[in-house]
Amino acid sequence: MSFRIEKDSLGEMQVPADALYGSQTQRAVLNFPVSGLKPYPAFVWAQAAVKRAAAQVNRDLGLLEPKLADAIIQAADEILAGQHQDQFVVDPFQAGAGTSHNMNLNEVIANRANQILGFALDDANKPVNPNDHVNMAQSTNDTIPTAIRLGCLWRLPELVNAVTKLAEALEAKAAEFDDVVKSGRTHLQDAVPVRLGQEFSAYALAVRNDLERINVAAERMRRLGIGGTATGSGLNAHTEYHQRMVEALSALSGQPLRSSGNLFESMQNMADPADFSASMRSLCITLTRIANDFRLLSSGPATGLDEIRLPAVQPGSSIMPGKVNPVLAEMLNMASFHVQGCDVTISLSAQAGQLELNVMMPIIAHNLFEMMHVLIGSINAFTDKCVVGVTANREKAEGWLAKNAILVTALNPVIGYLNGAAVAKEAMATGKTIKEIVVEKGLLSGEEVDKLIDARTLTEGGIQGIAAAG
């Protein structure tokens, strides 16, 4: 590999000859050989958006030479379009606050701008400087929290779409399964009847409630503190810079952004990202519960509940022929556990801020983007390859219900709780039906029993055997 020499405040540094990044990025690569991971595209896109907007605003304020600003804007636009992704090479586990990530963007944009202006990467006279021009009126301390917010908002429509599709698929199954009456279960024990459609309608609403939480938390991510520079005072930034940046980033991102209202708070406080993370954690709690129910309801099939059948998408065993496992539900479990672990890291990192800055922002950024990435992929796969293909096993579901001694609960208002308990006990001991025992004991006639324990009616609430008030 051939190299060129780049200089920074610490001296000279060998950099790969064709790399768009410079000495500070190369130092970070050498200093932090931790995970082998690279920044998520959302983080790169968002930081490039900040650089583009800053060049535009500083040009319009008369602070940045238009020729240089236009080259910076063109270079940033290339990154926003997805080019040069291989140039963003700093490990997420890096120096605090995200200085290395910020300089990676500054150096790539500066060198690409110099190329646009006709200068070679190793030309000592190249005019665009990563600190003086690309980073003008900025600090790592205000650009990184801004990029965290922008990156999450950039992927928000994908996450919203994935969750919405899941809710819609569950709602469609709720309608399809509405006439399948089955045994309810509490404490994993038999309970009064429910309809399979009612179970699925509850899943759908729970997912929609979580989506509402995500959208509410995302609204707070629209508050930007760009322009606070190093500590929130705005040193080295024009007095109009902050508001102009909010407007420029709103136009560039297509997002309704607003000022944080206090630039000091924006650097100290990571509560908004932590809240957004927590909203995704809450979704994962729901997803885990739904995935677990899918696994239970499809268990067996010969020796389990077998009330629903999941699509067979791959063989389930390397040794047992014919075995098919609930692999999409298992995948969703694992993805949900991973995302909840990311949230723990964000929670710990958010509380680790000290005085004027939270220096744990790089791992907050990485985990937020990881959470969104994993959720989008796992939810889409679960919806498309599992939920839409779920079928009801009516015969098994209704067969379990017929054996459920808890049906006697519907008779309580007429025969009393103690008589009902005695009937249920005898039914479980003898294998007789509830109807047979109630009639034998002379508690009710057969016709009365049939009317009171009509399974579909029992799923609709009310007091059996007592007419509603007119």
Torsion of CA 104, 107, 110, 115, to 10 degrees: -100
Sequence-separated (6 or more) residues with CB below 8 Å from residue 195: 177, 178, 179, 180, 181, 182, 456, 459
**Is the separation of the CB atoms in 142 and 226 below 8 Å?**
yes
**Number of other residues whose CB lies within 10 A of the CB of residue 442:** 7
Sequence-ordered list of residues with C-beta below 8 angstroms from that of 233, at least 6 positions apart, any chain: 263, 264
From CA 410, how far away is CA 6, in angstroms rounded? 82
Q: Pick the catalytic residue from 139, 250, 253, 317.
A: 317
Contact status, residue 465 vs residue 413, Cβ threshold 8 Å: yes
User: Pairing state of beta strands 258-259 and 223-224?
Assistant: parallel
- Tokens matching residue 290: 């739904």
Sequence-ordered list of residues with C-beta below 8 angstroms from that of 317, at least 6 positions apart, any chain? 323, 325
Q: How far apart are CA 470 and CA 463, in angstroms?
A: 15
List, in sequence order, every beta strand (DSSP E) within 196-309. 223-224, 258-259, 308-309
Annotated active-site residue 298? The verdict is no
Tell me the three state secondary structure of residue 243: helix
Catalytic (active-site) positions: 317
